[in-house]
Amino acid sequence: MNRKELVNEISTKESFLCVGLDTDISKIPTHLHNHPDAIFEFNRAIIDATKDYCVSYKINTAFYESMGMKGWEAMEKTLYYIPSTHFKIADAKRGDIGNTSAQYAKTFFEVLPFDAVTVAPYMGEDSVKPFLEYENKWTIVLGLTSNIGANDFQQKKLADGKTHLYEKVLSTVAEWGTPNNLMFVIGATKAKDLADIRKIIPNHFLLVPGVGVQGGSLKEVAEYGLNTDCGLLVNASRAIIYADSSNDFAVTAGKVAKEYQIEMAEYL
Amino acid sequence: MNRKELVNEISTKESFLCVGLDTDISKIPTHLHNHPDAIFEFNRAIIDATKDYCVSYKINTAFYESMGMKGWEAMEKTLYYIPSTHFKIADAKRGDIGNTSAQYAKTFFEVLPFDAVTVAPYMGEDSVKPFLEYENKWTIVLGLTSNIGANDFQQKKLADGKTHLYEKVLSTVAEWGTPNNLMFVIGATKAKDLADIRKIIPNHFLLVPGVGVQGGSLKEVAEYGLNTDCGLLVNASRAIIYADSSNDFAVTAGKVAKEYQIEMAEYL
């Protein structure tokens, strides 16, 4: 999916919501547990209930890998079930030396039809470049994450005494791609930092996790993060998919997604 | 496998060689291509030929993921084929927020019987801790990598004008675990930096890639990196497994592995 198509979807649906399918077998409703393909059945119901209110789905590969072969199969089935109108993100946080990153890029962009994959920046340019070589595919590089561990290295200041490591990551990585094939992960718990971040990368889309369970404010994210093309994909995972553990889990997930969409429409 | 067992293996075999199974279907001998399970057959032959000369195998997950379900299956079969005497590393470079990293740890330490997994440090403490919670399992955190991209961020100096980011990573991460459950990736192309690195982490094992195809010198790595428990696992992947593309590939791989072992015995 290219930028224009993504922006059109956002504008048509008045939503920049990404639903995170962090599907954990221990957290899905008990009545599904006996189903031979419980993870996929859960995801299918969530997708059916939320697809009108979101423009993207994010599959966190960790939750599928931890189920071995069966998990990989459920991930594939889920991916093919997501409508072609929706932007499909592999939240995999990969990154290795060049020839190995090329294998990861092949995995998510050729073997699996994802639109985007999240990538860690620590290993530098040759670890990110292989992902950027695919047309109409997106690389989403970790900038400032929403977890407490972001303070350990990302927030450290560099030799000039002013620039934080994550700011250096943003400005450096921005030169390796374009706003048409590169996005950044910026955690919502640092919403006020978005104003400064927008000075460094005004045009890029930002994938913003941490709204909901992790405590970020959608209003602040929109206030400091929106640009003329929207430029935001706000992700909610647990706040939507685990909103209700009863038989009505999908109905409730749809309601919560709709609430996000209505609030997002106000800000657009 | 615990530290004592690993040190015993090294001492018995007079080897600190790790063979990297970066098995790429496009690079294995053509006579194997028609085999229904070509990747596993290649790995089995390599393991049979090299196991007497190495103490560890490193499976780079990227090369298996890029083959989808079939690749995952080949990885599992390979893993179970490696003798129990050998230290089994998942070179996966994972790392995510705490609840997600816990899923990755489960994947490599419970679902799959790896002894160790490589982890990226960018997301900080809560992204690394879940891996450290497993008894007799090891977390191998990226310190200074062997690729050119290491200059982009790892080699940047911090606010004191002296400490490089990778040095800060080493000293900080060392506090999260112990030399009995934590190792670091230190690229061999920076062998002379090992003397300074040993001042920060004198007791930890270092996983050293980059010897062979990437140009690192084994002699220098041993000179600057060895400690009283050896403290090194030197990895060679392509230099061993692709040393020969003929029908004799395994025999040649065994010869090359033996050459490494003989040289390593001199340094121990």
Output the pLDDT for position A160.
Answer: 97
Output the pLDDT for position A188.
Answer: 81
Residue from B89, B118, B152, B170 whose CB has the most chain A CBs within 10 Å, to mutate: B152
How far is it, in rounded angstroms, from Cα A208 to Cα B247? 51
Give the domains, in start order, of chain B with CATH numbers. Answer: 3-267 (3.20.20.70)
Specify the pTM.
0.97
Whether residues B107 and A66 touch (CB distance < 8 A) is answered with yes
Output the pLDDT for position A185.
Answer: 98
Whether residues B69 and A72 touch (CB distance < 8 A) is answered with yes
Whether residues B63 and A100 touch (CB distance < 8 A) is answered with yes
Query: pLDDT by residue (tens digit) across A159-208?
Result: 999 999 999 999 999 999 999 999 999 998 777 789 999 999 999 999 99
Residue type at B248? D
Whether residues B93 and A95 touch (CB distance < 8 A) is answered with yes
Query: pLDDT by residue (tens digit) across A37-79?
Result: 999 999 999 999 999 999 999 999 999 999 999 999 999 999 9
Measured between beta carbons, which residues in chain A are less than 8 angstroms from residue B65? Answer: 103-104, 107, 111
Q: How far is CA A264 from the centre of its chain?
A: 17
- Strand partners of residue A140: A118, A183
Measured between beta carbons, which residues in chain A are less than 8 angstroms from residue B22? Answer: 100
Q: Which two tokens stand for residue B224?
A: 């600057």
| A222 to A108, A226, A237: CA distances (angstroms) | 29, 5, 18
| Active-site choice (B4, B13, B77, B93) | B93
| Active-site choice (A70, A77, A93, A168) | A93
Residue B139 DSSP label: E
| B156 to A164, B150, B189: CA distances (angstroms) | 11, 9, 17
- If you average pLDDT over residues B208-220, what whole number do you get? 81
Output the pLDDT for position A211.
Answer: 84
Residue from A80, A104, A117, A122 whose CB has the most chain B CBs within 10 Å, to mutate: A122
Whether residues A156 and B169 touch (CB distance < 8 A) is answered with no
Looking at this predicted complex, what is its ipTM?
0.96
Contact pairs from chain A to chain B, CB under 8 Å:
188
- If you average pLDDT over residues B213-229, what whole number do you get? 87
- Strand partners of residue B194: none
CB count in 10 Å sphere of residue A172: 17
Assign B158 to helix, strand or coil: strand
DSSP helix, strand, coil percent of chain B (3-state; round to 5) = 45, 20, 35
Quote the minimal CA–CA distance from B195 to chain A in Å: 22
Burial of A162 (0-12, 13-18, 19+ CB in 10 A): exposed
CA-nearest residue of chain B to A91?
A: B96
% residues pLDDT > 70 (chain A): 99
Measured between beta carbons, which residues in chain B are less than 8 angstroms from residue A127? Answer: 147, 149
Quick check: B73 and A69 in contact, CB under 8 A?
yes
CA-nearest residue of chain B to A144?
A: B123
Residue A89 DSSP label: E
Which H/E stretch holds residue B24? none
Q: Which two tokens stand for residue B127?
A: 């992204």
Output the pLDDT for position B38.
Answer: 95
Q: Which of A67, A94, A103 lies at the smallest CB-CB distance from B63?
A: A103
| Torsion from C-alpha of A48, B97, A263, A44, nearest 10 degrees | 0
How far is it, in rounded angstroms, from Cα B193 to Cα B9? 27
| B165 to B126, B162, B189, B200, B213: CA distances (angstroms) | 19, 10, 18, 13, 26
Q: Which of B123, B148, B159 lies at the smallest CB-CB distance from A145?
A: B123
Output the pLDDT for position A129.
Answer: 98
Query: pLDDT by residue (tens digit) across B39-49?
Result: 999 999 999 99
Closest CA to B28 of B11, B41, B47: B41
CA-nearest residue of chain A to B113?
A: A68
Asked whether the predicted pLDDT for residue A33 surpasses 90, the reply is no
Quote the minimal CA–CA distance from B63 to chain A in Å: 6
Burial of A190 (0-12, 13-18, 19+ CB in 10 A): buried
Asked whether the predicted pLDDT for residue B77 surpasses 90, the reply is yes
Closest CA to A88 of A136, A132, A122: A136
Q: Which of B66, B107, B142 lies at the smallest CB-CB distance from A106?
A: B66
Query: pLDDT by residue (tens digit) across A229-266?
Result: 999 999 999 999 999 999 999 999 999 999 999 999 99
Assign A129 to helix, strand or coil: helix
Query: pLDDT by residue (tens digit) across A86-100?
Result: 999 999 999 999 999
* B261 confidence band (pLDDT: 50, 70, 90): very high
Quick check: B87 and B233 in contact, CB under 8 A?
yes
Task: Compute the radius of gyration of chain A from its Cα atoms.
Answer: 18
Asked whether the predicted pLDDT for residue A82 surpasses 70, the reply is yes
Query: pLDDT by residue (tens digit) across B150-207?
Result: 999 999 999 999 999 999 999 999 999 999 999 999 998 777 789 999 999 999 999 9
Measured between beta carbons, which residues in chain B are less than 8 angstroms from residue A60? Answer: 96, 100, 103
Quote the minimal CA–CA distance from B93 to chain A in Å: 7
